[in-house]
Amino acid sequence: MRRLQQFAYPVTAALLALGLWYGLAAGLGVPGYLLPQPHEVARAFGDEFLTLLRGLTTTGAAALAGLALSATLGLGMALPLGASRVLRQALYPHVLLLQIVPVVILTPLLVLWLGPGFPSVTAVTFLITFFPVVSNTTQGLLATPQVLLDLFRTRKASKTQEMFLLRLPYSLPHYFDGLRIAATLAPVGAIAGEFFAGSGSGGRGGLGYLVIVYFSRHETAALFATGFTACLLGFLFVGAVSIAARLSLRHWYESYRADSQ
């Protein structure tokens, strides 16, 4: 029953939104180049299917590479931050800076340094997804309950044992929370990167590049279709992270266990 609700509620909300959309576009007579009707978007989706699919794989590959970099380097960065107060105070503001600097300012620089295409798009994705992973994992490493730290201390555990047998596994749920946020940001980062760096990679422009193309041609319906494709990419990413989290944490909580049964 709950599963049915989980499915039925968002679908109902989506159908209502679709109705509202039709009402706005057709009922108020908004012209198609401003707000295409849903069926026009569906048609554009069909017409541009192969182009969009190619865009999806190009953007998806760069986003995935960026996310993978964040998942590994973010964890690597969080370890020293979680282990030492001095390092945390010295480095954390700079990690935060990476998140604060608008990525559109860094992107042209990355294109200059790495050249257009996959490497710089990956780098942009990495920059935008790195912080949530580092920040959440560091919080997780610091959130280890005192009673478990006391247990390790009364058993004379070394600092290394405390980190790898206690703090690190304990931070896993936080790590996956960070990764889930990063997964929603990865397609955004990749598409933003492609505005600058998407062209010139052997004609394989990603979704970001397609946005520029469709915009210049005033193909609003195709723009909408690109938007939905980007959403699909985001859903795929978040879904993949959620499955990984569920598999890794299935012994932790009742909720994970209940779902797997």
Partner 1 sequence: MDECGPYCLILTPSPRSSTCDPRTWSERQREGVHCVAALAREVPALPRFTRAPVRVFQFTGKELAMFLRFDNVAHTYADSGTVLDIPELTIEEGSFVALIGSSGCGKSTFLRLLSSLERPSTGTVHIAGAPADGTPDSLAMVFQEPALLPWLTVENNIALPFRLTGKKRSERRKAAERGARRVGLADALSLYPNQLSGGMKMRVSLARALATEPRLVLLDEPFAALDEITRNSLNEDLSLLHHRNRWTTVLVTHSVHEAAFLADRILVLSPRPGRIAADLSNPAPQPRPAAYREDSSCLKTVTALHRKLREHAFA
Amino acid sitting at position 215: F
If binding is defined by CB under 8 A, does position 261 make contact with partner 1? no
User: How much is the CA Rg of the chain, to the nearest whole Å?
Assistant: 22
Torsion angle in degrees (nearest 10) through CA of 62, 63, 65, 71? 170
Q: Which is nearer to partner 1, 5 or 261 (CB)?
A: 261
Q: Is 152 in the site for partner 1 (CB under 8 A)?
A: yes
User: Shortest distance, CB of residue 166 to partner 1, whole angstroms?
Assistant: 7
Of 117 and 173, which has the nearer Cβ to partner 1? Answer: 173
* Least Å from the CB of residue 255 to partner 1: 10
Candidate ranges 38-46, 114-122, 151-159, 185-193; the one touching partner 1 (CB under 8 A): 151-159
Q: How far is the CB of 253 from partner 1 (least distance, A)?
A: 6
Q: Which of 90, 148, 231, 247 binds partner 1 (CB under 8 A)?
A: 148
From candidates 11, 100, 105, 147, binder to partner 1 by CB under 8 A = 147
Site for partner 1 in 154-173 (CB under 8 A): 154-157, 161, 165-166, 169-170, 172
- Per the CB < 8 A criterion, the answer to whether 186 and 66 are in contact is yes
Look at residue 38 and give its three-state secondary structure: helix
Query: Minimum CB separation from partner 1 for residue 155, in Å?
Result: 5
Distance of alpha carbon 195 from alpha carbon 206, whole angstroms: 9
Tokens of residue 42, six digits? 């569906």
Question: Taking CB under 8 A as the rule, does residue 254 contact partner 1?
Answer: yes
**In angstroms, what is the minimal distance from the CB of 156 to partner 1?**
6
| Residue where the block lists tokens 């935008």 | 128
Footprint on this chain of partner 1 (rule: CB under 8 A): 145, 147-148, 150-157, 161, 165-166, 169-170, 172, 251-254, 257
